[in-house]
Structure 1
Amino acid sequence: MPWMRDAVVVGAGPNGLTAAVELARRGFAVELFEALDTVGGGARTEELTLPGFRHDPCSAVHPLGAGSPAFNAMPLHRYGLQWLHHELPLAHPFPDGTAVTLARSVGETAMSLGPRDAGAYRRLMAPYLGKWETLAADFLKVPWDGPPRDPVTLARFGLNGIQPVAWLNRRFRDDKARALLDGLAAHVISPPTTNATAAIAMVFALAAHEHGWPVARGGSQAISDALAGYLRDLGGVIHTGVEVRRLDELPPARAYIFDTSPTALARIAGLGRAYRNFRYGSAVFKIDYALDGPVPWSAKEARRAGTVHIGPTSGEIRAALRAAAVQGRAPETPFLITAQPTLVDPDRAPEGKHTYWAYGHVPRGWDGDLTDAIERQIERFAPGFRDLVLARATAAPAELAARNANYVGGDIACGAFSGLQTLLRPKLALVPYATSHPAVFLCSSASWPGPGVHGMSGHNAAKAVWRRLRQAR
């Protein structure tokens, strides 16, 4: 008789690795299968441009990683994970050479917004300061999976967070504050008029104040490698370079957990149209740069920040997101999310050189080239930027999907953040990670709580699996 594993995980992204670790920590026999030659998913590091320049093809900055309840319960530092912090988590520059900042300090952030809005920002964030551990644990789990640890704080957060960020911004008098919050909410690739985008903006802001927006020393691959190293020490087995096409290609197991898109899970597990109503969202066009020096920002604050948002007004941000998500066209003036990791991690590039990445939003499956529009936008705030470019690696939606099958049509969030899907990912269910097959589960960022390198979808899915396995025993 073939040996029966407790769990087989398909896909070695942060969520698949986290699910495998959570089960292995509880004494279950676990094997993991990854189609590519290395683990990582959306947390990889590769030489995309020139020798010696190490880039993160997708996620580079980790606001939710450093504060993840799942990651913080693991000894990942023993396996090489080290968080590095820029002087400022985020800068949002303006054409006049000034900038607002998201700093570790609430006071510093508030002061950058100007005297008319400083008090409003302090009042918005004050109820949640010092409460990240309980709030994150409550917010990132399935809402109906047990009572919250701090129901009063969660309820207060929910009343603010369920709004569109455009409504939350009514408390601010000047556009600089509104642009900062709109830019934070844009990380889920949805217009600021979408319900619950206020929660996204507030979570990212609070994460900066409580844990920062760090990068992993050496690149995001360090997160995946730490998880993999811990899994192996727990007795888990990892197979790379194995593409799974059918469930019967996998070894016998009591549970199968997929860190894949719902579409791929349904195809592999033979679930037919199980996720026919699941909607994928807009895509991004991303560029990784090898630079001859640091980005020459006009705003001095941007020269110290790990992340720089480019799109000065709330009007520009909303127009760019609406073009990609609603109108089905690429914006003429894209809103950009950019990162400059070598400011604090210089070993990722040859001496004196830098890596930098930027992406703008485009419709899913878009096949155009946004390079010129992106670089024109960067030049508005960093004159002379193009003169520093040694090489660039562009990735349109098709290239992103080819690198990572979870990014269907270039949707790096693995599912639209809109309608009921903002809170019910991937669909309405008592256990959203379970499927119609009693032994098959979903753990990717298509499931609650959604995108980001935090492992919580994997953590929550593993919890559902070990409950099922414990009942079976």
Structure 2
Amino acid sequence: MGEPDAVVVGSGPNGLVAANLLADAGWQVVVVEAREEPGGAVRSDRGVHPDYVHDVFSAFYPLAAASPVIRNLRLDRYGLRWSHAPAVVAHPLVDGRCPVLSRDPERTAASLAAFAAADAAAWERLHRLWRRVGDDLVACLFTPFPPARAGLRLVARTGPEEGLRLLRAMLLPARRFGEEHFAGDGGRLLIAGNALHADLAPESALGGGMGWLMCMLGQEHGFPVPAGGAGRLTEALVARLRDRGGVLLCNRPVTRVVIRDGRAVGVRTDDGTEIPARRAVLADIPAPLLYERLVDEQHLPARLRADLRRFQWDFATVKVDWALSGPIPWECADARDAGTVHIAEGLDALTRFASQLAMEQVPDVPFTVLGQMTTADPHRSPTGTESAWGYTHVPQHIRRDAGDQDITGRWDEREKEAIAGRVEAGIERLAPGFRALIRARRILAPTDLERLNPALVGGAINQGTTNLHQQIVFRPLPGTGRPRTPIRALYLCSATTHPGGGVHGAPGANAARAALRAPHMPRRRH
């Protein structure tokens, strides 16, 4: 190929989405990836046990299923197939009760009615509201801020008074949202547990709206997984890009964005090679890494450099993968057919867990999000077995251990075993005999996650906190919210931009569209 029109730094889902959209527009695109394989946090392997497929990082993809960006790429033509567990999310409790989020609204409502009879109708009301406004809310989420068209449609659909009530509901903390809508604990747990997927504590603003959004996406689309492993999603994106003439270069770490006369004109790799970009450079890496490592300080305004010091990462993550000889023996039958299982003994336990994190303490009783991958996709392990994982959060900077094992953040083998033991103890309480099923396991501490994917700084999987002070026009820095940077022809297309984390491709799509609309671009050579 000739001189590329665009260079995309990083081959995570956002980088690959951006590259595909630019290639669709006729641009010549080169994607440069530091690692030996593409995908960022969308990869799978057989590293735990050769007979078991495990997703190394992300696993369930409700946002991808809902995303018009991903849907419009028609990745089914490149081998992507979605698979579903019989139920979406379960939250078993030691007394045997268990709220269940199902793609069948009646089953969801019935599980909540076991906690309070009135909550079946409450769930149905929330589902009816979603059916009215959900498409426009999703459109608002996946377009650059301000989402003018989708926002106007939403206002026209609801009217100003109802629109304000909806906005208030979306801003509520998860605990308050649950209290206003549900009489029992079941609905409250589904909302708060799903809010914590986005790192929002039960008392954090936005948690209620995010928890409701995730529940409704699960209700409508499920929490699907790529059949055969998360890597199949990456494979489809790469195949589509190559089909359009795009080039992927792996094992090529970028050390510098080349800037001349205030404009990005290419990148330099660690071997000194300069790869030019006639029209744009798009960076699928966290904003702090872009500005602090790849761009010379002289090109950045003093205000931006000051704001970078206030950038807040989300909590660190510890992930444990298990190759199990049989299905997890949940005492609560409703948990057996759920793809995702939440492990926490009630809403107050979630608040306690989040409070310990806020105080920079390693939680003594972790909240665990658990994935039953063979339940969701029978291709993941031999018949009668289970490929499973569980993740929990720890502070980015540890002040002390709320437990009695003196976890300090060194993340040596002793500390990894200690935190994994806490996770497994929580599962064992609800599924006696779980530990006896473990054939092999892998513990990924925050340091391991960052080593395997440098974009997961300190084990932060959302590339920055989801709290209100770092969302929308505050993401990644105040006054931004869009993919443009202070340098002409340099665009940020990572999850540090609006709308943030999750595999949905919106940051990549927004950056690609901004690059395509940029004025005074040089003409293509023929």
What is the TM-score when the length of structure 1 is the normalising length? Answer: 0.95
Question: Which segment is superposed worse, 113-122 or 27-36?
Answer: 113-122
Deviations 1:187-240 (A, max 9, x none): 012312111112211111111122111111011111111111101111111111
Deviations 1:262-294 (A, max 9, x none): 122111122463733321121111100011011
Shift of 1:63: 1.0
Question: Which segment is superposed worse, 166-175 or 231-240?
Answer: 166-175
Q: Is the 8 A contact 2:194 2:211 kept in 1?
A: yes
Shift of 1:471: 5.6
Letter paired with 2:173: P
Identity %: 36
Aligned position for 2:276: 252
Distance 1:241 1:302, change over 3 A: same
Within the alignment, does 1:342 sit opposite 2:386 as a pair? no
Q: Is the 8 A contact 1:42 1:453 kept in 2?
A: no
Query: Unaligned 5+ residue runs, structure 1?
Result: none
Shift of 1:460: 1.2
Shift of 1:6: 1.8
Within the alignment, does 1:191 sit opposite 2:201 as a pair? yes
Aligned pair count reads 471
Within the alignment, does 1:439 sit opposite 2:489 as a pair? yes
Letter paired with 1:383: P
Question: Which segment is superposed worse, 393-402 or 103-112?
Answer: 103-112
Query: Unaligned 5+ residue runs, structure 2?
Result: 259-267, 269-273, 398-408
Within the alignment, does 1:457 sit opposite 2:511 as a pair? no
SS at match of 1:321: helix
SS at match of 1:441: strand
Within the alignment, does 1:293 sit opposite 2:317 as a pair? no
Shift of 1:174: 1.6
Question: Which segment is superposed worse, 404-413 or 101-110?
Answer: 101-110
Letter paired with 1:269: V
Shift of 1:4: 3.7
What is the TM-score when the length of structure 2 is the normalising length? Answer: 0.86
Aligned position for 1:235: 245
Among 158, 163, 179, which residue is 1:170 paired with?
A: 179
Name the CA distance, whole Å, in 2 between partners of 1:240 and 1:133. Answer: 37
Distance 1:221 1:429, change over 3 A: same
Name the CA distance, whole Å, in 1 between partners of 2:370 and 2:355. Answer: 20
Shift of 1:464: 1.3
Shift of 1:89: 0.8
Name the CA distance, whole Å, in 2 between partners of 1:157 and 1:223. Answer: 34
Letter paired with 1:174: G
Name the CA distance, whole Å, in 1 between partners of 2:133 and 2:185. Answer: 29
Give the alignment's Cα RMSD to 1 decimal. Answer: 1.9
Aligned position for 2:234: 224
Aligned position for 1:280: 313
Deviations 1:239-267 (A, max 9, x none): 11111111241411121111111122111
Shift of 1:454: 1.0
Deviations 1:331-357 (A, max 9, x none): 111111010111242222234322100
Question: Which segment is superposed worse, 266-275 or 355-364?
Answer: 266-275
Within the alignment, does 1:363 sit opposite 2:387 as a pair? no
Shift of 1:43: 0.7
- Name segments (4+ residues, structure 1) moved above 4 Å: 469-473
Deviations 1:355-408 (A, max 9, x none): 100011110153343111101000111110000001110011111111111111
How does 1:30-429 map onto structure 2 within 5 Å? Answer: 30-114=29-113, 115-129=117-131, 132-148=134-150, 150-152=153-155, 155=163, 157-171=166-180, 172-248=182-258, 249=268, 250-253=274-277, 254-266=279-291, 267-271=293-297, 273=305, 275-324=308-357, 326-364=358-396, 366=409, 367=411, 368-369=415-416, 370-423=419-472, 424-429=474-479
Shift of 1:461: 1.5
SS at match of 1:99: coil
